[in-house]
């Protein structure tokens, strides 16, 4: 959807247009992407990294407008890093760096936010903080599409789930229906045991 990989068959549409008809800037104005891991050794300040999110919106001269600066400041504030804006990436913790790159994605002002395992490198506390922030953004109207392997995270934070197995879609619907449905056993060889909560057990143990 973000145009990172070409389609191997069929067509991908973004809005009402085919993805292969759109330029990189046009795609970036529609989709912001937060990868699972991003290089963080370069000595860039937080504010400069987040400003990169405005590049799809710049004019022909590449100048930042007052609105661009305001959006960058808003994105930094939204992830709680205003006091860190002059810090460089290597001086930040893993959770702080992840919030920097989320702020860069928010600065893009794209209607769709794509996330690849957004909590994979975070400790439990930072995971909860990030997911709470994403829940707030979704409540405010942000469309969020995330690849997650933690089924409890999917159940807690995402109202709809798409289940993939060997590169193919095998289920799509309300998250609880997908997680409790038979397709999960096909994909992961587990069944969900329900009781006071959910437990995921290997199929051959049931």
Structure tokens at 128: 């909860």
How many whole angstroms separate alpha carbon 100 and alpha carbon 95? 9
pLDDT digits (tens, 9 = 90+) for 107-155: 999 999 999 988 877 788 888 888 998 999 999 999 999 999 888 888 8
Instruction: State the pairing for strand pair 198-202/13-14.
Output: unpaired
pLDDT digits (tens, 9 = 90+) for 145-202: 999 988 888 889 999 999 988 888 999 999 989 988 888 887 877 776 666 665 555 5
This prediction's pTM: 0.80
Residues 112 and 166 grouped into a single domain: no
Supply the pLDDT for residue 206. 46
pLDDT digits (tens, 9 = 90+) for 68-117: 999 999 999 999 999 999 999 999 988 888 889 999 999 999 999 999 98
Looking at 126, 147, 168, the residue that finishes a domain is 147
Would residue 112 count as lying in a domain? yes
Question: In whole numbers, what is the pLDDT of the chain averaged over residues?
Answer: 83
The C-alpha torsion from 50 through 51 and 57 to 58, rounded to 10°, is -170
Residues 143 and 164 grouped into a single domain: no
How many whole angstroms separate alpha carbon 11 and alpha carbon 114? 19
Overall number of domains in the chain: 2
Q: What is the CATH number of the domain that holds 55?
A: 3.40.50.300
Residues 107 and 17 grouped into a single domain: yes
Residues 168 and 80 grouped into a single domain: no
How many whole angstroms separate alpha carbon 105 and alpha carbon 1? 15
Would residue 185 count as lying in a domain? yes
Token pair 């460089």 in the structure block, residue: 88
Q: Which domain holds residue 140?
A: 13-147
Other CB atoms within a 10 A radius of the CB of residue 108 amount to 24
Residues 134 and 167 grouped into a single domain: no
Would residue 206 count as lying in a domain? yes
| 160-169 core/surface letters (b: 16 or more CB in 10 A; e: else) | ebebeeeeee
């Amino acid at each position: 959807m973000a145009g990172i990989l070409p389609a191997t068959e069929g067509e991908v549409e973004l809005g009402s247009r085919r993805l292969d008809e759109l330029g990189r800037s046009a795609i970036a104005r529609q989709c912001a992407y937060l990868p699972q891991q991003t290089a963080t050794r370069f000595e860039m300040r937080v504010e400069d990294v987040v400003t990169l999110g405005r590049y799809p919106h710049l004019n022909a001269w590449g100048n930042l407008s007052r609105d661009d600066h305001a959006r960058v400041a808003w994105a930094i504030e939204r992830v709680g890093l205003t006091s860190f804006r002059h810090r460089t990436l290597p001086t930040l913790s893993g959770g702080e760096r992840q919030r920097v790159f989320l702020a860069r994605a928010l600065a893009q002002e794209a209607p769709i936010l794509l996330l690849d395992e957004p909590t994979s490198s975070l400790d439990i506390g930072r995971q909860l903080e990030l997911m709470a922030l994403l829940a707030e953004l979704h409540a405010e109207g942000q469309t969020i599409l995330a690849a997650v392997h933690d089924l409890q995270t999917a159940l807690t934070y995402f109202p709809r789930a798409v289940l993939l197995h060997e590169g193919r879609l095998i289920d799509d619907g309300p998250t609880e229906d997908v997680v409790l449905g038979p397709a999960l056993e096909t994909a992961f060889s587990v069944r969900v045991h329900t009781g006071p909560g959910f437990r995921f057990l290997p199929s051959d143990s049931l």
